[in-house]
Amino acid sequence: MEERPKLLILYATQTGNALDAAEQVAREADRRGCSVKLLSVDEFDAVSLPHMGAVVFVVSTTGQGDTPDSMKGFWKFLLQRNLGRSWLEEVHYAVFGLGDSGYQKYNFVAKKLDRRLSDLGAVAIVERGLGDDQHPSGYEAALDPWMTSLWNVLNKINPKFFPNGPDYIFPSKQSIGQPKFQITYHAIDKIDSQFSCSSARRMSPAKFSRDKSRPDCFLKLVKNQPLTKEGCGRDVRHFEFEFVSSVVEYEVGDNVEVLPGQDPALVDAFIQRCNLDPEAFITVHPVEMMNYLDAHANAIATPIKLKSFVSLTMDVVLSYFATAPHEKEKLQYFASPEGRDDLYQYNQKERRTVLEVLEDFPSVQMPFEWLVQLVPPLKTRAFSISSSLAAVPNQVHLTVNVVSWTTPLKRKRSGLCSMWLSKLDPEQCIYVPAWFNKGSLPPPPPSLPLILVGPGTGCAPFQGFVEERAIQSATRETAPVIFFFGCRNKENDYLYREFWLSHTQNGGVLSETKGGGFYVAFSRDQPQKVYVQHKIREHSHQVWSLLSEGAAVYVAGSSTKMPSDVFSAFEDIISKESGFPKEAAVRWLRALEKAGKYHVEAWS
């Protein structure tokens, strides 16, 4: 009997979104009876790519069109000149990208991967799909129709992918199979004391993380200081952490990911709702089965408290465990393509917690093995580092906006990590697992003139830049620095006011006597709103003077309109001051970008 073809799905993720999307593609293929293998691209041997019949790539774009870290080796291999135009002629492929249209290089990684695969002779199954974070329904707005086309065309290429056709969905009880994880319970008196209390509680989510099994270090919180005026409607805080055991040699412009804790009351309520024993110690092992989750399922060999499993999201499997007919019907509808918009309104738009979902469907009683399988790992949150290791040798500082909002149904919501951080007390000896990464803002040499643009918490990385440049200027000649900062009000959210002003005085790195400057846009202190792009235009001559001297531009902050508005301001200045036509000014800026002198780090 001829072996059925297997669909290979390779993903490249930086924050976990591409993994989520790839898993969704794998689940939908699996529900249709398609044999699937899911791998991170760095777990795949690129040499064997020509022998793969059909490959789906799900890739994210980070920073300024940057490739995720996990994809860099694979991409370098694909760019080898000795790979001919027929190297992949036997391969059918599809590419789905995750990006943010607020960036200049929207979905750049997916686009260049698509072109390179085609150049090497591979045949596209369907036109590449491009998911946009800015869309009201997120990347899924593009993913759902893209998958429908993918199944239909893949079935025409080789009907053996789908034994009953691409539209046939196996009944839930048949497709659900067996849980992918095995839970072992351990007697408490046999558990080593080092795994009780806080050690197990803080280590377990990190151990269960799919992409990072061990933190680079643990950080001890030593300061939690509000930066905004109480009652102003915003809560931005300055955090200082000390390295506990060894110091990670970070550079200015890098970022750090921290693993947050969760609301203990919510954890307790969830455990009670699911009838679980919070004090039980368990280990978790993947069941030895050939399935698409095996490739990245992590065992937890160290016994940990069951209470660590506190986070999950609703999945199609929930309908199988719902016993009330009306609940089963609603969950099945949510899981269908027709119910996708309503599911988005119900779940994502309202950001319902797991507990709220389970309370809405009281007949759902899920075995713990399935809870473990469906619980997404507690994800790390990334923050720009706002310090220089040269200035604070044993510390790392963060500037964090405590996120909160009201949903369409008037529910109060807050960001898990930022709210958790805001409530930490330095007196309580808090240790936080952390991972350090290169950011999108490379550290500049002392001789490079700088034009920095950082409204709001976008100022965070530039604290480190200014600190480091100040230390360098004490022993050598350094180039000028201009910084454009923006906030709402002078009295409410003028972040790090004393710090910036101190560096404008006595020949500091932001002083006009050094050729630099510090300019603030207060958007709401006057009837007409003033933003950083207005201040940049206001100082057109000085900006052009530095650009003419070879200055580099660094932009950090919100990814909505700010980066493109700032880019337009520079276009206008170049055209006005040089006399170039607008098209030439755009080319001038693009050349600056290509030369590695225009950097953007933006976040939504």
For residue 68, what is the domain's CATH number? 3.40.50.360
Count of alpha carbons within 13 angstroms of residue 31, beta-carbon side: 19
d(CA 297, CA 210): 7
For residue 572, being part of any structural domain is answered with yes
| Residue whose C-alpha is closest to residue 482's, from 468, 493, 494, 466 | 466
C-alpha to C-alpha distance for 468 and 71, rounded to whole angstroms: 31
Of 119, 140, 170, which residue constitutes the final position of a domain? 170
pLDDT-derived band of residue 327, with 50, 70 and 90 as boundaries? low
In a domain? residue 454: yes
Return all residues near 21 (Cβ < 8 A) that are at least 6 apart: 11, 58, 96, 98, 131, 139, 143
d(CA 317, CA 165): 22
Q: Based on the number of CB atoms within 10 Å of its own CB, is 398 exposed (0-12), middle (13-18) or buried (19 or more)?
A: buried
CA–CA dist 316, 172 (Å, integer):
8
pLDDT over 50 at 250, yes or no = yes
Residue 290 in any domain: the answer is no
Q: What is the pLDDT of residue 14?
A: 80
pLDDT attached to residue 172: 54
**How far is the C-alpha of 573 from the C-alpha of 540, rounded, in Å?**
6
Residue 550: CB atoms within 10 Å = 13
Q: Which residues contact 510 (CB under 8 A, 6 or more apart)?
A: 466, 481, 482, 483, 500, 503, 504, 516, 517, 518
- In a domain? residue 145: yes
Question: Which tokens sit at 144?
Answer: 């759902």
The pLDDT value given to residue 115? 96
Taking a C-beta distance cutoff of 8 angstroms, is the pair 464, 286 a contact? no
Q: DSSP character for 550?
A: T
**Would you say 362 and 216 are in contact if contact means Cβ atoms under 8 Å apart?**
no
Mean pLDDT over residues 567-574, rounded? 95
Q: Tokens for 65, please give them.
A: 């069109």
pLDDT of residue 541: 96
Residue 477 covered by a domain: yes
The whole-angstrom separation of Cα 285 and Cα 529 is 57
Query: What pLDDT score does 419 carry?
Result: 87
pLDDT above 90 (res 542): yes
Q: Which CATH number characterizes residue 470's domain?
A: 3.40.50.80
Instruction: Please say if the pLDDT value at position 20 is more than 50.
Output: yes
Domain boundary among 170, 204, 236: 170
Share above pLDDT 90 across residues of the chain, in percent, rounded to a whole number: 49
Tokens describing residue 181: 């994880």
Element (H, E) at 545: helix 540-548
CA 62 vs CA 301, 385, 444, 459: distances in Å? 33, 17, 20, 20
- In this prediction, residue 408 carries a pLDDT of 74
> Domain of 507?
450-603
Strand-pairing partners, residue 412, are 406
pLDDT digits (tens, 9 = 90+) for 340-389: 677 767 666 656 666 677 777 777 777 777 766 665 566 778 899 999 99
Q: How far apart are CA 110 and CA 13, in angstroms?
A: 12
With CA atoms as reference, report the closest residue to 416 among 260, 307, 269.
260
The one-letter code for the residue type at 464 is G
Q: Kindly state the tokens that stand for 472.
A: 């360098």
Q: Which residue has the tokens 């001890």?
A: 220
pLDDT of residue 329: 75
Side chain identity at 263, as an amino acid letter?
A: D
Residue 222, pLDDT > 90, answer yes
DSSP labels for 166-192?
Answer: TT----HHHHH-S-SEEEEEE-GGGS-
pTM: 0.77
Quick one: average pLDDT of 129-156?
88
| Tokens 């790090």 belong to residue | 496
Does residue 336 have a pLDDT over 80? no
Query: What's the pLDDT at 220?
Result: 93
Number of domains in the chain: 2
What is d(CA 44, CA 68) in angstroms, rounded to the nearest whole number?
15
Last residue in a domain, options 153, 170, 187? 170
Asked if residue 112 is part of any domain, the answer here is: yes
Q: What is the mean pLDDT of residues 177-203?
A: 55
Residue 513 belongs to a domain: yes
* R_g (Cα) of the chain, nearest Å: 26
Other C-beta atoms closer than 10 Å to the C-beta of 156 total 10
On average, the pLDDT of the chain sits at: 83
* Reported confidence tier of residue 493, pLDDT bands at 50, 70, 90: very high
Return the top range by mean pLDDT from 301-310, 433-442, 549-558: 549-558
Closest to 463 measured CA to CA, from 550, 390, 521: 390
Residue 586 belongs to some domain of the structure = yes
Euclidean distance between the first and the last CA atom of the chain, given in angstroms as a whole number: 52
Q: What is the DSSP string of 270-307?
A: HHHHTT--TT-EEEEEE-S--STTGGGPPPEEEEEEGG
Cα(83)–Cα(50) distance, rounded to whole angstroms?
11
- Return the pLDDT at 185: 76
517-522 vs 481-487, strand pairing mode:
parallel
pLDDT bin (cut points 50, 70, 90) of residue 405 is confident
Q: What's the pLDDT at 207?
A: 34
What is the band of 116 on the pLDDT scale with cuts at 50, 70, 90? very high
| Alpha-carbon span 172 to 162, nearest angstrom | 17
CB atoms within 10 A of CB 69: 15
Q: Which letter does DSSP use for residue 348 in this model?
A: I
Q: How sure is the predictor about 307, in pLDDT bands with cuts at 50, 70 and 90?
A: low
CA 252 to chain centre: 20
Question: Does the pLDDT value for residue 429 go beyond 90?
Answer: no
Output the six-digit token pair for 476: 């050598």
Is-contact 80 116, C-beta < 8 A?
Answer: no
**Average pLDDT of span 297-323:** 46
pLDDT of residue 416: 78
